[in-house]
Amino acid sequence: MSFRYAFSRVSGYFNAARRVQARLISSSSYHFHVAASWAAKPPYPATRRMRPFKPNPAIVSWRDKTLTKLGSPQASPGEDFLFTRTQGQRLVFGVADGVGGWQDQGVDPSLFSQALMYYADMHSVNASPSECMKLAYDSVLKDDEVSVGSSTACILSLDASSGSLTTANLGDSGFCIYRNSTIFYASRPQTHHFNCPRQLSKLKDRSWDFSSDRAIVDHPRAASLHDEALADGDIVIAYTDGVSDNVWPAEIAQICGLALDRQDSEDTKAQLIASSVVYNARKFMFNQNRVSPFEAEARQHHKRMPGGKVDECVEYIVLCVYQLFPVPQLLLLLSRKQSLDAGFIHLVGPLLVHGSPFNETLDHPRGCQRILLQGDIIVSVNEQVWLNKDFSREFLLKYQVAHF
């Protein structure tokens, strides 16, 4: 089956998952179109029977509501989990991958990852991704319902007003940014050694025979942090390693390009990307005749592990669309937001001038180009909008001929 055929196959049934759009106020510079998809791996033949546990009713209720909002509660993400929250101008979301090795100790790995995402959702209201990770981990350590466990974590925050992306990632879950037909940025996995990621762990109950020399306990301060300025059309993809171990970045870029070429709504494109990536990850992980990213990494460590890696897949997609304002609407919006000084408008945030985002160069009346920055002044000259930060006041007064 060709890669394009796999894309067209999945496009026929992805509508089973619900599309969720971040509802941000209308004056936002960016609109976010979000979608999620996931798939559990086949049952793991644990060497020990799972010990019974007393689930936290609050976490169980939140888990089911989250799955219902993003897709279907009947489709389990297995040991992985995710969360999403819209708070004012911010869209915060994250993914976590419960460490499957705990099954050998009779522990359900999904308990830790679900609890971690539950508390991350709770603390994401006012905290940065790094602060949110630390607060969530501290809450899991204090939760008596979670005895032991480990998980990776990747938390991201997008600001619709400033167009900024802030992230914190610990372990081999991660994220990437698709821009201009390629993967513009991809987080690097954090590992102690091959197939052993950095992880947040809880070893509170000493009755578990998980010996200290095998225990791996990392701290949220070990997370890698990254900030990025968004661009119109960016696609931000957060995923667990079930995706990154089986789908190459170039293949993710191809899926994004195919979806963007379709004559569909932005919400539909976002969901199609999410469903297609997970569909192909599931297909590739069982293919022993294809070199996967996991096999390629294993070779670098002198290990022979052909084909893909069977694992859970969780993915969260955000398609970022810059909100364009024609010049008359731009001036009307500005006049409502702030007072005018002698016909000049002082910029207080990212704007659009003559169809170009604020971070692009604009033609300058003096024959050069400038980048529109916060604090700049624009003025209408002969029904055109110009950047005037370094103009003399005499120049501004002379050419102030149009109406705002």
pLDDT at 43: 66
| Domain chopping of the chain, boundaries | 3-322, 327-399
The whole-angstrom distance between residue 231's C-alpha and the CA centroid of its chain comes to: 15
pLDDT at 45: 56
**C-beta separation of 352 from 64 below 8 A:** no
Give CA–CA dist 72/111, Å, rounded.
19
What would the two tokens of residue 98 be?
């419960």
8 by Cβ neighbours in 10 Å (0-12 / 13-18 / 19+) ranks as exposed
Give CA–CA dist 13/28, Å, rounded.
32
What is the fold of 3-322?
Answer: Phosphatase 2c; domain 1 (3.60.40)
pLDDT at 146 over 80: yes
pLDDT tens readout for residues 244-292: 999 999 999 999 999 999 999 999 999 999 999 999 999 999 999 999 9
pLDDT at 205: 52
**C-beta separation of 36 from 301 below 8 A:** no
The DSSP annotation for 357-369 comes to ETTSEEE-TTSSE
CB atoms within 10 A of CB 94: 30
Give CA–CA dist 338/345, Å, rounded.
8
**C-beta separation of 66 from 83 below 8 A:** yes
| Cα atoms in the 13 Å half-sphere on the side-chain side of 287 | 15
pLDDT tens readout for residues 53-109: 567 889 999 999 999 988 776 788 999 999 999 988 899 999 999 988 888 777 888
Give CA–CA dist 42/61, Å, rounded.
25
pLDDT at 325: 41
pLDDT at 31: 86
4 by Cβ neighbours in 10 Å (0-12 / 13-18 / 19+) ranks as exposed
pLDDT at 285: 95
The whole-angstrom distance between residue 324's C-alpha and the CA centroid of its chain comes to: 23
Return the higher-pLDDT residue of 60 and 359: 60
Kindly report the length of the chain: 404
CB atoms within 10 A of CB 173: 30
Mean pLDDT over all residues of the chain? 76
Give CA–CA dist 231/7, Å, rounded.
25
Q: pTM for the full model?
A: 0.77
| Element at 356 (helix H, strand E) | strand 356-357
3 state SS of 14? helix
| Element at 269 (helix H, strand E) | helix 266-285
Return the higher-pLDDT residue of 243 and 231: 243
Give CA–CA dist 388/377, Å, rounded.
5
pLDDT at 22 over 60: no
Closest CA relative to residue 307, chosen from 285, 323, 328: 285
pLDDT at 6: 53
Closest CA relative to residue 318, chosen from 111, 86, 3: 86
pLDDT band at 360 (very low <50, low <70, confident <90, very high): very low
The DSSP annotation for 273-284 comes to HHHHHHHHHHHH
